[in-house]
Structure 1
Amino acid sequence: MARSLDEQIKQALESETVFSAKDTMEMWNAIEGELFEKETNRTGIKPAKQKRGKKRIVLFMAVAASLLIAFGTQTSTGSAMIDKVKSIFAPEKDVTTKIEGSDEETKLNLHEGKKAKYVLYVDEARYKFLTGEASDKVVLKEALPEKYPSVEMEIKQVENKEPGAAIEEVKATLAKEYGGILRTEEVSYPMKATLVTAKGKGTEWNTPLAKVYVMSNGGSGSFVITQTLFLEAEEGHGARFDEMLKEFYIVE
């Protein structure tokens, strides 16, 4: 399953800086109190659950404000924790991707899904992030000539269909479109998911290739992320797509 934003915040806060059990409990209590305070004051009733998936800046400000309340900016613990949370919500990230044996420096920009609640860092120098009602896509900024097969990455949430059922549906679709399934495997890179790979017949440079990652959406549904490639593009565009998926977070 993809890493949730809550898990990433907790992991970041726990790494590199050591906090006591008391620090951790105070921090999470403060976060909960800050998120619920306005709703409680307005209605007199504390909501059972604050709906998440708001704009990233609103969520960051709430968390940051909570950390300020708990520790203040003048304490080493408070400032360290704020820096760690802030890094998760950075609008840009610099990454190094290995492309065909060479390191490539890339700047990734944060984007949010339109319907499905997730965030993803996208290489805007080479790709565009397009949102839609049924799914979102990362497509080439500059279209390839007609002789080249399609290259894109589609991110789709399948509600009320758990990963097992979604995987079987993906396999049936790929088998029909590509003539067979190369392999189905559990992977931890670039994310923890089931990867289904299919390839068209032949080994020519332009032979179509599909890589589909399937994981739970944290509820009763699944995320299905489909990379449409061709053999020659796998080491380039495929590697860049995977680098983006390392920074895929479910926020609902």
Structure 2
Amino acid sequence: MADAFDERLKTSLRRATEPASRMQEDVWSRIAERLAAEPTDREEAAEEAAPSPVRRRRLRRAAVGSAAAVAMLGAFLAASPPGQAFVAEVKSWFAPQKTVEEPLEGLPESTEVELQEGTAGYVIYFDEARFRMDRVDGVDRIVPVEPPGPGYPEVYMEISHTDGAPADVAKALAASVEREPTVLGPRKVEFPTAGWEVYAVGGTGGLAWNDPVVRYLAIDDGAGGSFVAKQKYFLEAEEGYGARFQLMMKEFYITENP
């Protein structure tokens, strides 16, 4: 898998950056370092035998490595016409639709998800039968096609970009919810992707079914900034909407430097 991606990336890079060969060598050497961390076929077989939490964490790191390589490529080349063409080609590598299988509400579920392009240099997959993406004040907001109904707290996930390292952004987010009865974090996490998380419960702090929940995830953009995913739902929906938002973030990929 890594070899195929490696070869495809090098071939496209040669074609797309012919006018800037010196920059090409510098870019590729950096990307190759990231790709070298991806598992070989033998290592992947060993991962399959590992306990599932460990396997998911390690495979996720490999996926983040590829995404980071793409992001690094965008940072170096997006300013030039050949670079822009190459970034567009990299985006086209993502399948427009695929099947994901994950446990939801305690049961395994197979779901068809579709590729969505965000406004700040990322793509994400989600089920268009259940969710849609709106633009609210310049921010991408993923909302249920059929909201829970009157009397329920808001349910959505917003994805935005901001300046600052993820750890610093997470500290500021924790301060913004410090008055809530229950606050966890900021804490470094590997699931659903590598980043910093803040989790807060309002209302009774976790005693009522409709206590509002907000979860923030700050993700390094590779260029000194952060993507922030803000998830809002209610306590009873932790294994429903909460789990689905987390699974969406497993399929979050940075495609260019914002």
TM normalised by structure 1 equals 0.70
Cα distance change on mapping 1:193 and 1:142 into 2, 3 Å: same
Structure 1 segments unaligned to the other structure (5+ residues): 1-11, 62-85
Q: How far off its partner does 1:215 sit?
A: 1.7
Partner of 1:99: 104
Task: Pick the structure with more helix per residue.
Answer: 2
Does structure 2 conserve the Cα–Cα contact (< 8 Å) formed by 1:187 and 1:193? yes
Single out whichever of 200-209 and 124-133 deviates more from structure 2. 124-133
Alignment of 1:88-127 (within 5 A): 89-114=94-119, 116-127=120-131
CA distance in 2, matches of 1:149, 1:191: 26
Question: Quick one: distance in 1 between partners of 2:124 and 2:162?
Answer: 18
Deviation string, structure 1 residues 79-105 (Cα, Å, up to 9, x no partner)? xxxxxxx5xx11011112212211122
State the alpha-carbon separation in 2 of the partners of residues 50 and 155 from structure 1. 24
CA positional deviation for 1:33: 1.3
Residues 172 and 54 (structure 1), Cα distance of their counterparts in 2 relative to 1, 3 Å cut: farther
Contact 1:196 / 1:212 at 8 angstroms: preserved in 2?
yes
Residue 222, structure 1, aligned to residue 249, structure 2: no
Q: Which amino acid aligns with 1:35?
A: A
Q: Secondary structure at the match of 1:213?
A: strand
- Are positions 1:172 and 2:175 aligned together? yes
Q: 2:188 aligns with which of 175, 186, 189?
A: 186
1:220: how far off?
Answer: 1.3
What is the SS of the residue equivalent to 1:190?
coil
Deviation at 1:236, TM superposition (A): 0.6
Q: Which runs of 5+ in 2 are unaligned?
A: 24-75
Q: Which residue matches 1:204?
A: 208
- Deviation, 1:143, is 2.1
Identity %: 34
Residue aligning to 1:50: 77
Q: Distance in 2 between matches of 1:110 and 1:139?
A: 16
Q: CA deviation at 1:183?
A: 3.6
Residues 96 and 106 in structure 1, CA contact (< 8 A), matched pair in contact too: yes
After superposition, the CA RMSD in angstroms is: 2.6
The answer to which of 143-152 and 131-140 deviates more is 131-140
Given the alignment, which residue of 30, 51, 56 partners 2:11? Answer: 30
Larger radius of gyration: 1
Aligned partners of 2:167 and 2:196 also within 8 Å: no
Q: 1:129: how far off? A: 1.2
Cα distance in structure 2, aligned partners of 1:133 and 1:53 = 27
Does 2:90 align with 1:59? yes
Aligned length: 198
**Cα offset, 1:133, TM superposition:** 5.7
Aligned 8 A contact 1:35 1:50 in 2: no
